[in-house]
Chain A
Amino acid sequence: MNLDGGVPRPFVRPMRGWWRRDPFFVRYMLRELTAVAVLAYAVVLAVGVVRLSQGEVAWNGWLAALRAPWSIVLHVLILAAMAVHAWSWFQIMPKTLPMIFVGGRRLAGATITRAGWLATALTSIALFALARWWQS
Chain B
Amino acid sequence: MKRSNAPLFWLPFGAGGMLAALTGTMLVFITGIAVPLGWTLRAELMSYPHVLALAQHGWARGLLLAVIALFAWHAVHRIFHSLHDLGIHSGATAKLVCYGGAFALTVITAASLWSIAH
- Residue A46 at the chain B interface, CB threshold 8 Å: yes
The CB with the most chain A CB atoms within 10 A, among B16, B27, B50, is that of B27
Contact A15 B87, beta carbon cutoff 8 Å: yes
A59 to B14, CA, bound (A): 32
CB interface residues, B 17-54, toward A, < 8 Å: 17-18, 20-37, 41-46, 48, 50-52
Within 8 Å CB of A100, what residues of B?
A: none
Main secondary structure of the interface of B (DSSP, over half): helix
CB interface residues, B 76-118, toward A, < 8 Å: 76-79, 82, 85, 87, 105, 108-109, 112-113, 115-116
Main secondary structure of the interface of A (DSSP, over half): helix
Contact A35 B30, beta carbon cutoff 8 Å: no
Which residue of chain A is the closest to B71 with respect to CB atoms?
A: A42
- 29 pairs from A and B in contact (CB 8 Å cutoff): A19-B85, A29-B82, A35-B78, A38-B74, A38-B78, A39-B71, A39-B75, A41-B28, A42-B68, A46-B72, A46-B105, A48-B31, A49-B55, A49-B112, A52-B48, A53-B116, A56-B48, A66-B31, A72-B36, A79-B28, A79-B32, A79-B33, A82-B25, A85-B20, A86-B22, A86-B25, A89-B20, A124-B23, A134-B45
Interface, chain B (partner A; CB < 8 A): 14, 16-18, 20-37, 41-46, 48, 50-52, 55, 64, 67-69, 71-72, 74-79, 82, 85, 87, 105, 108-109, 112-113, 115-116
